[in-house]
Structure formats: structure tokens, C-alpha cells
């Protein structure tokens, strides 16, 4: 017989979920995942054990880029790749290098190089060149432009990209759903906080959006469903080879170049140059009346 206190807890949860469809969506996904993926271990232990395994398998004899690996883990994956036998290792991150990172680098007598930059910066990304193996986790959902970041990751990836990200569960009846977090209500934030065990680690999603100048990327911007993520990978020039779903909210993908060719997207500056060339040899008195002329330069309308 089920104890009365457990029965009361069950009906209390069901009552709350009936009043909050978003909570029912999130907690229902959690229950189904635990039922279909029973495990006695801790989700975070499983996640980091698998990530270390992947790097130890893929890094030996390869060039390795750790993109965004300073916060929280202080370059751990980059140092692991170096120890596993990577031929060249670069850690690229927007954060200032910490004292802990400096100490790790000296203690390991590391040859790892640190480059400070922004994954949004197309020019800086182009200057990096390509790496055989690229590691990027906990990054794209902190960006207002995650697809742009994936396309930049494609530029630097020669063989494999290991991408780890927070996701949302699939939304029943809606393919490839995404949620824009900035601007959601305090009630919705409270629902996310309830499911994720607090708001502290999830500004913008489970807590207020941080509007501190220059710190927009500290927020969570997008909730991306696994189906949307797969499609985003395809249209940024990747194909998925392996997928590891650790919970309804955390996923790792191993991808390789493939999918949709990125030549479908106009190169930056292409349209501007077409406008400039259109009347480059046309005398001013023959220009159409709508042409925007500034000095000797012809601009598009």
C-alpha cells in the first residue's frame, strides 16, 4: 500500500501541473527520460566521464581547439587533449585568463596557447585557421545568434566538432521548437527554476535577465530542442555522427563536416560589392535618379 504522504505528494504535483502547462511539459519530459534511461549514477558524472572519453579517443595525433573552455573548468578539456597526445592545442575564450589557469599551465609544463576572442567575431575566427578536433560546450545557448556561432564553428572544424549544450525537451506537436528566454515572465522563470533546482546558474531563463553592460552573454538566450539543434547543425554545414542525451536538458553531439553546403549563404560584403559594381563605369549624367552617390562612390539605395 502506498503511504498517505506519498499519495498526497503525487496529487499535489498533479494539481500544480494542471495549473501550469509549462511545468507539466518539463516535469513530464523528466519522468519519461528517467523511465526510459534508468541509471544509478549522477547525470553530471556520466556527462563528464563521457566527454573525457571522447577527447581521449579523438585528440591523439590531432590539432585541438577548445572554444569557450575557461569558465567553470579552467581549460580542463584543453589540458586533457594535450595530455592525450594532441599535436597542437589552443584555448579560445572571451574571458580573461585566470590565475588558476596560469598555475595549471605552469604545473603541467604545457605548450597550450591561449587566445582571447569572441566566437561572434568572423574576422578573428577566420584568423584561427582550422583544427582537426574542436571542443565547444556551454556556449551557443548564451548567444543571441547561435546559428551564426555554429557557422563560425564550421569554419574552424576540419574533422570533428564535439558540441555540448543545454536544450529544452521536445514540445508536443511542434517540430524543431525553440524558446527565446529574454523577456519571459517571472512566472515562467519560476517554472524553469523549479525544474532546474534553482535560478542561480541560469540567468535569463530561470532568473532575471542580467542587463549589466557588456555581460549579455552571461545570460541564457535560447532554449533549443534536440530536433531544432540537429537541423541547425545541418544548415551550418555539419552532419551528426553521435548523440548523447544525458537528461531532457543536456546533450552532446559529435558532428563532422557535411550537411547543407554553406555556399547557399551570401558572403559578407557580396551584396554591397554588387551594388558598387552595377554603375562603376556609368557617367554621372547617365545614372538613374534613385542611385545614391556620395563623392565618387555609388551606394545601393
Q: What is the pLDDT of residues 16-39, one digit of tens each?
A: 555 689 999 999 999 999 888 887
Is 200 within a domain?
no
Whether 182 and 188 have beta carbons less than 8 Å apart is answered as: no
- The Cβ of residue 272 has, within 10 Å, a number of other Cβ atoms equal to 11
Q: What is the pLDDT of residue 11?
A: 41
Is 9 within a domain?
no
Q: What is the pLDDT of residue 271?
A: 86
Same domain for 68 and 169? Answer: yes
d(CA 19, CA 15): 6
Is 168 within a domain?
yes
Cell numbers linked to 92:
579560445
Same domain for 49 and 113? Answer: yes
Identify the three-state secondary structure at position 215: coil
Is 34 within a domain?
no
Instruction: Report the CATH number that the domain containing residue 126 is assigned in CATH.
Output: 3.40.50.150
Is 68 within a domain?
yes
Read off the pLDDT of residues 126-146 as tens digits, 9 standing for 90 and up.
999 999 999 999 999 999 999
Domain containing 58 equals: 39-181+221-264
Same domain for 62 and 160? Answer: yes
Same domain for 133 and 257? Answer: yes
Of the listed ranges 6-15, 216-225, 275-284, the one predicted with least confidence? 6-15
Same domain for 240 and 117? Answer: yes
Same domain for 127 and 164? Answer: yes
The percent of residues in the chain predicted with pLDDT above 90, rounded, is 76
22 closest CA partner among 221, 184, 188 = 188
Domain tally for the chain?
2
Of the listed ranges 125-129, 133-137, 209-213, 286-290, the one predicted with least confidence? 286-290
Of the listed ranges 19-33, 57-71, 145-159, the one predicted with least confidence? 19-33
Q: What is the pLDDT of residue 123?
A: 93
Cell 530542442 belongs to residue: 225
Identify the three-state secondary structure at position 86: coil
Same domain for 259 and 274? Answer: no
Q: Is the dihedral of CA 56, 62, 67, 70 positive or negative?
A: positive
Mean pLDDT of 184-190: 96
Whether 168 and 206 have beta carbons less than 8 Å apart is answered as: no
- Name which residue leads in pLDDT, 256 or 269: 256
Residue 230 has pLDDT above 50, yes or no: yes
d(CA 42, CA 85): 29
Whether 77 and 51 have beta carbons less than 8 Å apart is answered as: yes
Same domain for 141 and 255? Answer: yes
The percent of residues in the chain predicted with pLDDT above 70, rounded, is 91
Q: What is the pLDDT of residue 252?
A: 98
Same domain for 107 and 231? Answer: yes
DSSP string covering 272-288, please? HHHHHHHTTT--GGGS-
What DSSP designation does 296 have?
A: T
Same domain for 255 and 280? Answer: no
Same domain for 157 and 277? Answer: no
Residue 6 has pLDDT above 60, yes or no: no
What DSSP designation does 2 have?
A: -
Amino acid at each position: 500500500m502506498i503511504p498517505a504522504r506519498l499519495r498526497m505528494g503525487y496529487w499535489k504535483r498533479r494539481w500544480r501541473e494542471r495549473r501550469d502547462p509549462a511545468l507539466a511539459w518539463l516535469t513530464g519530459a523528466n519522468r519519461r527520460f528517467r523511465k526510459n534511461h534508468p541509471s544509478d549514477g549522477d547525470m553530471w558524472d556520466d556527462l563528464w566521464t563521457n566527454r573525457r572519453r571522447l577527447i581521449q579517443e579523438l585528440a591523439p595525433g590531432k590539432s585541438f581547439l577548445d572554444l569557450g573552455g575557461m569558465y567553470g573548468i579552467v581549460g580542463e578539456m584543453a589540458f586533457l587533449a594535450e595530455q592525450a597526445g594532441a599535436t597542437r592545442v589552443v584555448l579560445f575564450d572571451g574571458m580573461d585568463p585566470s590565475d588558476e589557469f596560469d598555475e595549471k599551465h605552469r604545473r603541467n609544463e604545457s605548450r597550450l596557447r591561449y587566445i582571447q576572442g569572441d566566437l561572434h567575431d568572423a574576422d578573428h575566427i577566420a584568423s584561427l585557421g582550422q583544427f582537426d578536433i574542436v571542443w565547444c560546450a556551454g556556449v551557443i545557448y548564451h548567444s543571441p545568434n547561435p546559428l551564426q556561432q555554429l557557422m563560425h564553428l564550421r569554419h574552424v572544424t576540419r574533422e570533428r566538432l564535439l558540441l555540448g549544450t543545454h536544450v529544452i525537451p521536445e514540445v508536443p506537436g511542434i517540430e524543431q521548437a525553440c524558446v527565446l528566454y529574454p523577456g519571459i515572465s517571472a512566472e515562467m522563470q519560476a517554472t524553469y527554476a523549479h525544474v532546474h533546482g534553482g535560478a542561480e546558474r541560469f540567468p535569463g531563463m530561470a532568473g532575471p535577465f542580467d542587463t549589466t553592460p557588456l555581460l549579455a552573454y552571461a545570460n541564457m538566450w535560447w532554449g533549443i530542442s534536440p530536433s531544432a539543434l540537429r537541423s541547425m547543425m545541418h544548415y551550418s554545414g555539419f552532419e551528426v555522427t553521435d548523440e548523447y542525451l544525458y537528461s531532457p536538458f543536456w546533450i552532446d553531439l559529435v558532428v563532422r563536416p557535411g550537411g547543407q553546403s554553406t555556399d547557399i549563404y551570401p558572403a559578407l560584403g557580396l551584396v554591397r560589392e554588387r551594388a558598387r559594381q552595377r554603375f562603376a563605369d556609368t557617367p554621372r549624367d547617365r545614372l538613374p535618379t534613385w542611385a545614391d552617390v556620395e563623392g565618387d562612390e555609388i551606394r545601393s539605395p
